[in-house]
């Protein structure tokens, strides 16, 4: 009996007392709850982290600091103006005016006739500067004349093309151009020396301009545009076909060549791209024969 009691006593001594076990058992649910909560919290943090990461991406995409600056019409013109492949042509173009005695003398005489106000410039049929690189190249050339030959041009440049949109006209105004609101169809009569910047226009526009100033003011008109001399040569087959019969195109070209017999062709041999060639090839300076 005593041994049995002794064994029980030993067992009781090795195991946790009943009272202590009850105390620990009270904390078990709390520990389980804490573990579960920590897992939930951890997984929740992961979700939050993922959401924050996604939000950060969205914010960075929407932030102006991460957006590309939109290309403007003005910047497109400037890009065309600074294209390396165009620069040799621009240099030759300016050198021709400055270094060709006949051209330089004519411009000097025209400037002197303005009594110090210099020469105006009018641009017709430039085309869409937003959608056509060819038009932007031609506009760049007009700006080059204004900036580099300020002893000739007074900086007052008027421009019109019926194809220009309200947006394009607004940009041109911001760039310092005076946008004309009326379609003159080339029929501008001038009372002082004026350069008409009309690259690759249709023949009737040139004819309208010449006829409007034919009587007394043609000496004030300088045209930068298509080569009338080349047109005349190209139209020889058509002229022979009509054999003396009236042809508005042939008659118009003959009229232009007769009234603007002082023609100086622009050198475009340095151009390589098809767009640049389309913009600047077969162009000439035209001075009246009066």
Confirm whether pTM is higher than 0.95.
Answer: no
Distance CA 85, CA 96 (A): 18
In 10 A of CB 30, how many CB atoms?
Answer: 9
**Residue 198 belongs to what H/E stretch?**
strand 194-198
Question: Out of 22-36, 160-174, 274-288, which region has the weakest mean confidence (pLDDT)?
Answer: 22-36
Question: For residue 226, what are the β-bridge partners?
Answer: 283
Distance CA 198, CA 181 (A): 18
In 10 A of CB 83, how many CB atoms?
Answer: 15
| Alpha helices for the chain (secondary structure H) | 2-14, 18-25, 28-62, 73-81, 87-99, 101-113, 133-148, 166-174, 203-212, 228-234, 236-242, 248-259, 274-280
Please, what is the average pLDDT of the chain? 80
Fold of 76-288: Rossmann fold (3.40.50)
**How sure is the predictor about 244, in pLDDT bands with cuts at 50, 70 and 90?**
low
Mean pLDDT, range 117-134, rounded to an integer? 95
Distance CA 154, CA 138 (A): 19
Cα dihedral 121→127→130→132 (10° resolution):
-120
Contacts with 216 (C-beta within 8 Å, 6 or more apart), sequence order: none
Nearest to 159 by CA among 202, 194, 121, 210: 121
Q: Which two tokens stand for residue 112?
A: 């002197």
Question: Which residue's structure tokens are 């911001």?
Answer: 174
**How sure is the predictor about 83, in pLDDT bands with cuts at 50, 70 and 90?**
confident
Question: Which residue's structure tokens are 């992961």?
Answer: 46
Mean pLDDT, range 161-179, rounded to an integer? 95
Look at residue 123 and tell me whether its pLDDT is greater than 90: yes
pLDDT tens-digit profile of 20-55? 444 444 544 444 444 444 544 444 444 544 443 443
In 10 A of CB 109, how many CB atoms?
Answer: 12
Question: For residue 196, what are the β-bridge partners?
Answer: 122, 223
192 close to 220: Cβ distance less than 8 angstroms: yes
Question: Out of 51-55, 139-143, 217-221, 256-260, which region has the weakest mean confidence (pLDDT)?
Answer: 51-55
pLDDT tens-digit profile of 181-226? 999 999 999 999 999 999 999 999 999 999 999 878 999 999 999 9
């Amino acid at each position: 009996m005593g041994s049995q009691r002794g064994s029980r006593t030993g067992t009781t001594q090795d195991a946790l007392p009943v009272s202590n076990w009850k105390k620990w058992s009270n904390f078990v649910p709390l520990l389980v709850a804490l573990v579960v909560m920590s897992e939930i919290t951890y997984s929740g943090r992961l979700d939050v982290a993922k959401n924050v990461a996604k939000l950060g991406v969205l914010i960075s995409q929407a932030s102006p600091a991460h957006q590309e600056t939109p290309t403007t019409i003005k910047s497109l013109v400037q890009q065309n103006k600074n294209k390396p492949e165009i620069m040799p042509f621009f240099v030759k173009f300016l050198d021709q005016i400055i270094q060709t005695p006949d051209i330089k003398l004519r411009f000097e005489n025209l400037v002197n006739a303005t009594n110090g106000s210099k020469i105006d410039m009018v641009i017709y049929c430039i085309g869409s500067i937003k959608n056509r690189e060819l038009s932007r190249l031609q506009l760049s050339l007009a700006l080059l004349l204004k900036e580099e030959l300020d002893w000739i041009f007074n900086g007052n440049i008027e421009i019109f093309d019926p194809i220009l949109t309200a947006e394009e006209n607004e940009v041109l105004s911001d760039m310092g151009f005076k946008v004309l609101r009326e379609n003159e169809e080339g029929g501008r009569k001038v009372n002082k020396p004026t350069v008409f910047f009309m690259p690759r226009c249709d023949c009737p526009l040139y004819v309208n301009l010449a006829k409007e100033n034919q009587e007394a003011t043609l000496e004030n008109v300088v045209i930068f545009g298509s080569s009338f001399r080349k047109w005349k040569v190209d139209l020889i087959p058509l002229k022979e076909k009509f054999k003396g019969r009236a042809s508005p195109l042939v008659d118009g070209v003959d009229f232009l060549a007769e009234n603007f017999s002082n023609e100086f062709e622009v050198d475009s041999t340095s151009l390589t791209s098809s767009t640049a060639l389309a913009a600047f090839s077969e162009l000439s300076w035209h001075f009246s024969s009066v």
